[in-house]
Amino acid sequence: MNATPNLNDLKPNARAAAGDVVLSGAEVLLRVLVDQGVEVVFGYPGGAVLPIYDALFRQNAIRHVLVRHEQAAVHAAEAYARSTGKVGVVLVTSGPGATNAVTGLVDALMDSIPVVCFSGQVGVPLIGTDAFQEADTTGITRPATKHNYLVRRAGDLARVVHEAFHIARSGRPGPVLVDLPKNLTVGPAPYQPASRAPHPSYRPRTEPDREAVARAVAAMKGAKRPLFYTGGGIINSGPRASEALGRLVRMTGFPCTSTLMGLGAFPTTDRQFLGMLGMHGTYEANLATHGCDVLVALGARFDDRVTGRLDAFSPDSFKIHADIDPSQINKIVQVDVPVLGDAGRIIEMMIEEWARQSEIPDSAALAQWWQQIDAWRGIRSLHFEQDMTPSAIIRPQHAVRRLYELAMETGRDTYVSTEVGQHQMWAAQHFQFDRPNRWLTSGGLGTMGYGLPAAVGAQIAHPDALVIDIAGEASTLMNIQELGTIAQYRLPVKLFILNNQYMGMVRQWQELLHGSRYSESYSAALPDFVRLAESFHARGMRATCVGELDDVIRAMLAEPGAVVADISVAQDENCYPMIPSGAAHNQMLLGPEQDGEVKVSAEGRMLV
Amino acid sequence: MTTQEETTISAVISILVENESGVLARVIGLFSGRGYNIESLTVAPVEESRHQSRINIVTSGTPQVIEQIKAQVGRLVPVYRVSDLTTLGPHVAREMALVKVVSSGESRTEALRIAEAFRARAVDTTATSFVFELTGATDKLDSFIDLMRPLGLAEVSRTGVAAIVRGPRTI
Ligand SMILES: Cc1ncc(C[n+]2csc(CCOP(=O)(O)OP(=O)(O)O)c2C)c(N)n1
Ligand SMILES: [Mg+2]
């Protein structure tokens, strides 16, 4: 397969013909990581990766962050990647180390996050013998990664590692796993710099077709009720894409909505932003999606959380779909103009075309559209009433709002991660993001336990920033061991738990769809989070009523070290607005007054 | 899946891949993971240096599903090209079968007679059995096997479809 000689059987410390010192495979790996600009590796040691840990020990260029569970290593690397735009790097041992990483890999796959995960493997001669801690890691992770490799020959090592980074970060980004048999990391291996030759078979297209963009812009010029529907692809494309999006939205005057993954690409506090769309999106975003005549999807993939009932999704619109991944085009929704390429490049080209095409947009129609949108806005679908009596129960939305407002008062650069559940949706609705890369959440996979390790990754990448995990009490217990990592590296992460003593999102569905039979969704036997924090060398704080909330948030924000803030919130709160499964965007539930009207179809009941 | 017609069509997908370990598993895993059909599958190296293999898959689905199959397969890193031969124009699709018939007397002569009509070759003959080798389109093989059924059909081994576009065009 490759002309490089097989160096497996060379003796260690033998000298290569050129006279260079022969490096071990582990040393070659680290050298390639340095070439690739890697500064941090999140990992956990074990027998099969000991040679790599030994090489790490003897160098200073790469920092290793010891997590407490391999799943957390991947989530930390994901957040590192998402908050910096670099590739996140993970190192785990064979067998259980690799299997523990699988959830994180699938999470990164679903959200298109560039991660390279190195797993140890038993030596090549032992593969297939059920050796100790052997697992078919490439077999297990094949559908969990964008691509994976089992390196069988030392001569392939450097090339494969370079290639893994290229594949993880280019095209539609994603996780790549490289399985490294122990004999290859112990034995000698040839170092190679990154090749400049294009990959023989993998050639993602990034530069859009001008003609497709021109057709898209022509439709936009003729629109009477246009809407931008933006997604995580813009964040992935880099800050330039978000900056360009801002220009495009302003120059067109069009309204803009975003998916969960895209929040922050366009400032969520901007007047032209309608809020998030989809299952827990705003009334105005969903009705605009339903009623628009030209829908411009940018780096978004028509996920089922966004579309609701498909045959009723944006029924009268001319659809433009910009995506880097050809397989997303016409996958869920048939579109009129597909534009393949990097979202940032497409947006920049749209700006050029908008200026170049001489048609005058119908500003009267647009003004009328905005009037309609403002009327929908008048419904105030995210509104809630908080009883401000000091002893009143805290509503979770209020807790998020206050957290946002008080965090803004600090003026600090703020990164927010979340777990999965109601609190995640409240965070998406009530925390505001005016810049990209500040919002770290598990969208596609919806992985409980994502937020705390993600906060670790973000804080490692941005040591001086304010990093908050907006958590639920159930989710946070899924990776609570990361309080150990936080303690070890003195990370000033703030774990802000909206404690409703329920798996609230499960409870909500049980209330609305299963006759309020709360089967196994009560968070029984919860720990005392304050004492838990203290046992992990962090500060624990608690707010049990509205009167205590602001003081606790202020104290948390003022605390130089890690904090666990246990915020008791209303147990029976449901997350609104909501499009029940199988319903259309114009069949939203706005609040509990309408719960009686929930009529989920038989098909809807089968949907997740 | 809002507007497209729901008619199921059959398609022959040819995939040119880097001949590396695990590549077939990637393709097959993609089909099973995404719920696409595989009616038949062939794979073999097709290039002198054996760096590239060609996988031919006969599948079926709505036109939209077939489009998705192509796009999803095209995403795999070791895939050079993927084509739907059924949309590229006329193509030749052939498979080979080895058919064992165990019988005597009347049935035995009848089997031989039908084999001749189908231009099947007896590649193994004993006093009580034949192994016929037959190449052709899938439906020709199907009907031959059907005809052998009452005549002592004992075992069938088929290769699956190899296909190529007619004329000077290539995938
Ligand atoms: C690993 C995992 N298991 C199960 C689920 C299903 N699930 C989604 S939300 C949820 C409840 C989350 O509870 P909590 O963290 O307390 O958040 P809340 O909804 O109460 O805000 C569950 C069990 C999931 N998303 N992830
Ligand atoms: Mg909860």
Note whether A295 and A335 are within 8 A (CB).
no
| pLDDT tens per residue across span B68-89 | 999 999 999 999 999 999 998 8
Its CATH architecture, for the domain A7-186, is: 3-Layer(aba) Sandwich (3.40)
Residue B131 lies in a domain: yes
Which residues lie closer than 8 Å to A599 by C-beta, 6 or more apart? none
Q: Which of A1, A143, A311 shows the shortest C-beta gap to B20?
A: A1
Q: Which of A174, A178, A204, A172 is nearest to A106 (CA)?
A: A174
Residue A312, pLDDT score: 93
Question: Where does B5-163 have alpha helices with state H?
Answer: 23-33, 63-75, 85-88, 105-117, 138-148
Instruction: Show which of B63, B84, B105 is a domain's final residue.
Output: B84
Note whether B49 and B39 are within 8 A (CB).
no
Distance CA A220, CA A231 (A): 18
Task: Name the average pLDDT for chain A.
Answer: 95
Structure tokens at A492: 């000033």
Which residues lie closer than 8 Å to A145 by C-beta, 6 or more apart? A105, A109, A117, A174, A175, A176, A177
Residue A362, pLDDT score: 97
Q: Which class for A282: exposed (0-12), middle (13-18), buried (19 or more C-beta within 10 A)?
A: buried
| pLDDT tens per residue across span A465-482 | 999 999 999 999 999 999
Q: Which of A92, A45, A47 is nearest to A71 (CA)?
A: A92
The answer to whether residues B96 and B148 belong to one domain is: yes
- A168-196 mean pLDDT: 98
Residue A593 sits at the vertex; the CA angle it makes with A587 and A598, to the nearest 5 degrees, is: 45
Grouping H, G, I as helix, E, B as strand and the rest as coil, residue B156 is strand
- A299-305 mean pLDDT: 96
Strand partners, A226: A294
Considering the four listed CATH numbers 3.40.50.1220, 3.40.640.10, 3.40.50.300, 3.40.718.10, the one that applies to the domain covering A210-377 is 3.40.50.1220
Phi-psi region of B12 (alpha: psi -120 to 50; beta: other; left: phi over 0): beta
Note whether A500 and A396 are within 8 A (CB).
yes
- Please choose from A505, A522, A529 the residue to mutate so as to test ligand 1's pocket, defined by most ligand atoms within 8 A of CB: A505
| pLDDT tens per residue across span A69-92 | 999 999 999 999 999 999 999 999
Q: Do B80 and A325 touch (CB under 8 A)?
A: no
Domain count, chain B: 2
- A86-102 mean pLDDT: 98
- Decide if A136 touches B, using CB distance below 8 A: no
- Decide if A138 touches B, using CB distance below 8 A: yes
Structure tokens at A71: 């799943």
The residues spanned by each domain of chain A are 7-186, 210-377, 396-568
The answer to whether residues B13 and B79 belong to one domain is: yes
Which residues lie closer than 8 Å to A134 by C-beta, 6 or more apart? A94, A95, A121, A122, A126, A127
Q: Do A202 and B20 touch (CB under 8 A)?
A: no
Residue A15, pLDDT score: 44
Higher pLDDT, B94 or A597: B94
Minimum-distance ligand 1 atom for the alpha carbon of A503: 13
Residue B2 lies in a domain: no
- A533-552 mean pLDDT: 98
A12 pLDDT exceeds 70? Answer: no
N-to-C CA span, chain B: 28
- Please choose from A503, A509, A513 the residue to mutate so as to test ligand 1's pocket, defined by most ligand atoms within 8 A of CB: A503
- A161-175 mean pLDDT: 98
Strand partners, A541: A565
Residue A62, pLDDT score: 98
Maximal CA-CA distance, chain A: 81
CATH number of the domain encompassing residue B17 = 3.30.70.260
Structure tokens at A254: 């069009």
* Length of chain B counted residue by residue: 171
* Cα of A4 to nearest chain B Cα, Å: 15
Which helix (H) or strand (E) covers residue B57, if one does?
Answer: strand B52-61
The percent of chain A in helix, strand and coil, each rounded to the nearest 5, is: 40, 15, 40
- A86-113 mean pLDDT: 98
N-to-C CA span, chain A: 44
| pLDDT tens per residue across span A333-346 | 999 999 999 999 99
Distance CA A437, CA A459 (A): 13
Spell out which residues of chain A touch residue B30, defining contact as CB-CB under 8 Å: 143
Residue A592, pLDDT score: 85
- Decide if A128 touches B, using CB distance below 8 A: no
Which helix (H) or strand (E) covers residue A439, if one does?
Answer: strand A439-440
| pLDDT tens per residue across span A490-524 | 999 999 999 999 999 999 999 999 999 999 999 99
Structure tokens at A465: 């920033």
φ/ψ of A533, rounded to 5, equals -60, -45
Grouping H, G, I as helix, E, B as strand and the rest as coil, residue A547 is helix
A5 pLDDT exceeds 50? Answer: no
Residue B75 lies in a domain: yes
A598 pLDDT exceeds 70? Answer: no
Distance CA A228, CA A243 (A): 15
- A579-598 mean pLDDT: 83
A446 pLDDT exceeds 70? Answer: yes
Which residues lie closer than 8 Å to A290 by C-beta, 6 or more apart? A312, A313, A314, A315, A584, A585, A586
Residue A16, pLDDT score: 45
Q: For residue A305, how far is its CA from the centre of ligand 2 (angstroms)?
A: 21
The total of other beta-carbon atoms located within 10 Å of residue B160's CB is 16
Residue B80 lies in a domain: yes
The answer to whether residues B114 and B158 belong to one domain is: yes
A2 pLDDT exceeds 70? Answer: no
CATH 3.30.930.10 is the classification of domain A396-568:
no
ipTM computed for the complex: 0.93
Residue A20, pLDDT score: 59
Distance CA A255, CA A271 (A): 9
% residues pLDDT > 90 (chain B) = 92
A133 pLDDT exceeds 90? Answer: yes
A19 pLDDT exceeds 60? Answer: no
- The model's pTM is 0.95
Spell out which residues of chain A touch residue B71, defining contact as CB-CB under 8 Å: 326-327, 329, 331
- A250-264 mean pLDDT: 98
Instruction: Show which of B84, B112, B139 is a domain's final residue.
Output: B84
* Length of chain A counted residue by residue: 608
Ligand 1 pocket, A442 CB below 6 A? no
Q: For residue A420, how far is its CA from the centre of ligand 1 (angstroms)?
A: 5
Residue A596, pLDDT score: 64
Q: Do A201 and B72 touch (CB under 8 A)?
A: no
Instruction: Show which of B18, B51, B84 is a domain's final residue.
Output: B84
pLDDT bracket for residue B48 (50, 70, 90):
confident
Residue A581, pLDDT score: 84
Ligand 1 pocket, A422 CB below 6 A? yes
Considering only residues 154 to 213 of chain A, which have any Cβ-Cβ distance to chain B shorter than 8 Å?
Answer: 167, 199-202
Ligand nearest to the CA of A500: 2
Q: How far is CA A232 from CA A171, A427, A441, A459, in A?
A: 14, 17, 11, 21
The answer to whether residues B71 and B42 belong to one domain is: yes
Residue A13, pLDDT score: 44
pLDDT bracket for residue B5 (50, 70, 90):
low
pLDDT bracket for residue A68 (50, 70, 90):
very high
The answer to whether residues B79 and B98 belong to one domain is: no
Residue B39 lies in a domain: yes
Spell out which residues of chain A touch residue B76, defining contact as CB-CB under 8 Å: 147
Ligand 1 pocket, A262 CB below 6 A? no
Distance CA A278, CA B92 (A): 47
Lowest mean pLDDT among A230-234, A273-277, B43-47: B43-47
The answer to whether residues B74 and B108 belong to one domain is: no
Ligand nearest to the CA of A506: 1
pLDDT bracket for residue A34 (50, 70, 90):
very high
The answer to whether residues B36 and B100 belong to one domain is: no
Note whether A508 and A576 are within 8 A (CB).
no
Q: Do B25 and A142 touch (CB under 8 A)?
A: yes
Q: Do A142 and B67 touch (CB under 8 A)?
A: no
pLDDT bracket for residue A606 (50, 70, 90):
confident
A114 pLDDT exceeds 50? Answer: yes
Higher pLDDT, B19 or A7: B19
Buried b / exposed e over A179-190, threshold 16 CB at 10 Å, is: bbbbbbbbbbbb
Domain of residue B138, residue span: 91-164
